[in-house]
Amino acid sequence: MINAAIIGVGRWGPNLLRNFASMEGVRVAKVCDLDAKRCAAIRSKFPEVITTTGPGDVVRDNAIDCTVICTPVATHYELAAKALANGQHVFVEKPLAASAAECRKLIALAEQNKRVLFVGHTFKYNAGIRAAKNYIESGELGEVYLVDASRTNLGPVRTDVNALWDLAAHDISIFSYWLGGQPRSVSAHGACYLNKSVEDVVYATFEYAGGVIAHVHASWLNPRKIREITVVGSKKMLVWNDMNLSEPIRIYNKGIDKDELYPDTFDSFRLSIREGEVMIPSIQLNEPLMTECLHFIECVRSGERPLTDGYDGLDVVRALEAASHSMRQNSACVPVE
Ligand SMILES: NC(=O)c1ccc[n+]([C@@H]2O[C@H](COP(=O)([O-])OP(=O)(O)OC[C@H]3O[C@@H](n4cnc5c(N)ncnc54)[C@H](O)[C@@H]3O)[C@@H](O)[C@H]2O)c1
């Protein structure tokens, strides 16, 4: 039996609790939140779980095998470092930490203590995102020209991190997963409307190897909830829409035939635009968070390296740091170190 604990049961933590509590061979022994009301709410649903308002009661508890951290980003490093130093396996919600330096220290601690360091990049466990990766890698779309993401909604508004760190972190993780590498540079623009120093809206453009452009519009100040990414390839185009629960992917057999770029008549211009069929693949959907939590427990049991390990978390934080520098330098193009 694996004894698990969860620190932070605000908006997202209860989803982690539900998944881990439903797993065979796992017992959620403790839940911690600084807010006593959150603890009481958990006790009313899970009376067998011990709750505490002191994170030290979790990270210093030798009976806990693994700790799941779902608190604001600024607290991730300290909590994860203490849990790892005490010999616990650690699952940290995205982004892994508030800086690349903190991520590197967590990776070193996990390696020294031979413990799993896992990051909650949920979309790498999403069936639609995984299917899209297969289409991209199989060459179905041809050469990838660009990727364009929108992640908007009205709220939830955060004050601890901006829309880049909160929302675009997901898209950066997806871009690198699909494109099989890290961005080289980024140019980002953000705007603060609700709070003086927290960007509610961010437009960031990353450049990957081969000049592939990956753009994200991240905002919690928008009337519509959109979770959509378009991949434009030389042969076909793919759209992933996470709001379409039954058919998240569409592949458009559309494009412009380059030989015909400068046609001399309107008819030949029309011919150069390829308007083919739209293919909607059947995708077996499941809860990505369950797939993710199961993978974490498998890694704890087997010592296998997670798909979303500390290095993966570090890569996303490096890209976020570079985008933050760009925003502070009037959208200058900043290398991702
Ligand atoms: N993977 C995903 O899809 C996903 C979705 C939402 C949020 N998240 C991530 O989950 C984390 C939490 O987000 P949220 O929206 O639940 O935030 P939240 O503010 O709603 O909840 C955070 C909770 O942590 C508690 N807390 C704060 N500091 C603490 C500490 N030191 N010890 C114990 N408890 C503490 C707070 O009282 C609060 O209840 C963030 O890192 C966020 O990016 C991930």
* Phi, psi of 262, rounded to the nearest 5 degrees: -120, 65
Domains of the chain: 2-123+289-308 (3.40.50.720), 125-285+319-335 (3.30.360.10)
Please give the Cα distance from 302 to 184 (Å, whole number).
Answer: 34
Give 186-189's long-range contacts (Cβ < 8 A, gap of 24+).
186/319, 186/322, 186/323, 186/326, 186/333, 186/334, 186/336, 187/326, 187/331, 187/332, 187/333, 187/334, 188/164, 188/323, 188/324, 188/326, 188/327, 188/331, 189/327, 189/331
The answer to whether 203 touches 192, Cβ cutoff 8 Å, is no
What pLDDT was estimated at residue 272? 77
Q: What is the pLDDT of residue 270?
A: 62
Residue nearest to ligand 1 atom 5, measured at CA: 12
* β-bridge mates for residue 4, sequence order: 28, 66
Q: What is the pTM of this model?
A: 0.96
Q: What is the pLDDT of residue 267?
A: 67
Per-residue pLDDT tens for 243-273? 999 999 999 999 987 665 666 777 666 667 8
Ligand 1: which of 6, 11, 15, 77 to mutate, judged by most atoms within 8 Å of the beta carbon?
A: 11
Q: For residue 158, which atom of ligand 1 is closest to its CA?
A: 19
Take atom 30 of ligand 1 and give the residue whose Cα is closest: 34
Going by their DSSP bridges, the two strands 26-32 and 50-52 should be labelled as parallel
* Regions of the chain short of the pLDDT cut 70: 258-263, 267-271
Closest atom of ligand 1 relative to the 165 alpha carbon: 43
CA of 231 to the centre of ligand 1 (A): 31
Distance from residue 139's CA to the centre of ligand 1 (Å) = 39
